[in-house]
């Protein structure tokens, strides 16, 4: 008999939406890759030179990474349809990341638009476009925000979780029985409940997936051709160029290894990531209080604009107050990660101890 599973229309709809999102991402990425390949000399605006080859190569690598992630998203959607628990965990990580990015992007982009030079907002030709872009941003990021919240609520419900972890019931109307010597069926013995395999707490699983994704993103920085645009401020010392790339790549490697270790219930991985988060949280707090930090960041941005001939010259539109606001948002996000790790640390260690025993 084939296995029979409980009908969950919401789960099926979520899987279809995931596949649609992933397919759209693959098609969009392929379109951008094809346009950069067929039109290498395209200009960013009238009168501006074409995008430098190094920047185009970096863009191609980044979009290849995006396409790869979207292809994996198609398999995640198919796994949700087949009630695979790894797919449920993957779509929860996807939902958490999508919700976080969308929730941060909407106010951040509004701040960026409001920080643009006043003459651009006052221009009769630019003002309508800016108003349309704001509403487009709300729609563009609002849909993934709503879908991400829906997935987080749906796939953490006990009934849905049980549908992905419990074995399917057979279609046979009666379970097989054992006959006694007289030919009458014996009462089925009480089956001992199977011990559940210890698992990582779900919030830490989501965090581990985010760390692995961030690790790949950081390692891509090694391929960025413009070295001065990679500043690294560490406890009052400013680093740039290859030194900054080395630090960022090392961070990516540590976060990637730590994310995999958290998935595998390794206490050293949790403590390593927690220690890194505390160090960088302290570093960020001291940096934002350092009056030299914002001045150095503005200088680096101006140098980055000067190195890339396709970008407009002059002062960047990101003001010191806006940079400071983004830093505060980043610190709040880092503090939230530390709080989640501390709150679930005891449960994680209990699961790790049970696995080792």
- For the chain (357 residues), the mean pLDDT of every run of 10, in chain order, is 64 92 89 76 53 65 80 91 88 86 79 58 57 77 89 87 66 45 44 58 85 80 59 73 78 89 90 91 84 74 60 53 76 88 91 83
Phi and psi dihedrals of 169, rounded to 5? -85, 145
Q: What is the pLDDT of residue 207?
A: 87
User: Is 37 strand, coil or helix?
Assistant: helix
Instruction: Check residue 4 and give left, alpha or beta (phi > 0: left; psi -120 to 50: alpha).
Output: beta
CA-nearest of 270, 300, 284 to 204 is 270
Cα–chain center distance at 229: 22
Q: What is the pLDDT of residue 51?
A: 61
Residue whose pair of structure tokens reads 């009480």 in the numeric block:
190
Q: Whole-angstrom Cα distance, residue 130 to residue 134?
A: 6
Q: Whole-angstrom Cα distance, residue 312 to residue 54?
A: 18
Q: What is the pLDDT of residue 169?
A: 44
CB atoms within 10 A of CB 226: 14
User: Is 124 strand, coil or helix?
Assistant: coil
Q: Whole-angstrom Cα distance, residue 339 to residue 344?
A: 9
> What b/e readout covers 155-175, taking b as 16+ CB neighbours within 10 angstroms?
beeeebeebbeeeeeeeeeee
CA angle 112, 114, 120 (to 5 degrees): 105
Contact indicator for 65, 216 with CB cutoff of 8 Å: yes
Residue whose pair of structure tokens reads 């001045």 in the numeric block:
295
Contact indicator for 51, 226 with CB cutoff of 8 Å: no
CA-nearest of 217, 248, 244 to 61 is 217
Cα–chain center distance at 138: 19
Residue whose pair of structure tokens reads 């379970």 in the numeric block:
175
The sign of the torsion formed by the CA atoms of 248, 249, 250, 252 equals positive
Helix crossing, 291-307 with 320-343: angle to 10°? Answer: 110
Contacts of 260 (CB under 8 A, 6+ apart): 208, 212, 269
The sign of the torsion formed by the CA atoms of 306, 105, 339, 14 equals negative
Looking from the CA of 273 toward its CB, the CA atoms found within 13 Å total: 34
């Amino acid at each position: 008999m084939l296995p029979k599973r409980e009908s969950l229309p919401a789960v099926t709809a979520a899987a279809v939406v995931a596949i649609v999102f992933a397919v759209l991402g693959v098609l969009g990425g392929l379109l951008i890759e094809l346009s950069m390949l067929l039109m290498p000399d395209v200009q960013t605006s009238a009168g501006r030179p074409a995008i430098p080859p190094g920047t185009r190569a970096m863009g191609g690598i980044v979009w290849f990474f995006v396409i790869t992630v979207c292809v994996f998203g198609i398999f995640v959607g198919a796994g949700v349809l087949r009630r695979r628990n790894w797919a449920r965990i993957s779509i929860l990580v996807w939902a958490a990341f999508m919700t976080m990015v969308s929730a941060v992007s909407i106010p951040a982009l509004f701040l960026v638009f409001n920080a643009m030079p006043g003459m651009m907002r006052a221009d009769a030709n630019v003002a309508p476009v800016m108003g349309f872009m704001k509403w487009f941003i709300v729609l563009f990021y609002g849909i993934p925000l709503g879908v991400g919240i829906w997935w987080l609520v749906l796939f953490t419900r006990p009934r849905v979780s049980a549908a992905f972890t419990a074995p399917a019931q057979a279609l046979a109307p009666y379970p097989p029985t054992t006959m006694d010597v007289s030919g009458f069926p014996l009462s089925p013995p009480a089956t001992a409940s199977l011990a559940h395999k210890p698992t990582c707490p779900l919030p830490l699983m989501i965090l581990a997936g985010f760390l692995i994704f961030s690790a790949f993103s950081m390692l891509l920085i090694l391929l960025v051709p413009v070295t001065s645009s990679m500043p690294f401020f560490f406890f009052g010392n400013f680093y740039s160029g290859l030194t900054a790339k080395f630090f960022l790549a090392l961070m990516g490697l540590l976060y990637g290894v730590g994310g995999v270790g958290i998935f595998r219930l390794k206490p050293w991985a949790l403590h390593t990531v927690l220690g890194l988060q505390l160090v960088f949280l302290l570093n960020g707090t001291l940096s934002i209080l350092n009056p030299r930090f914002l001045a150095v960041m503005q200088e680096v941005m101006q140098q980055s604009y000067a190195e890339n001939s396709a970008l407009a010259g002059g002062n960047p539109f990101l003001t010191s107050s806006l940079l400071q606001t983004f830093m505060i948002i980043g610190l709040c996000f880092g503090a939230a990660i530390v709080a989640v790790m501390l709150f679930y640390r005891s449960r994680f260690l209990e699961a790790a101890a049970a696995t080792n025993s």
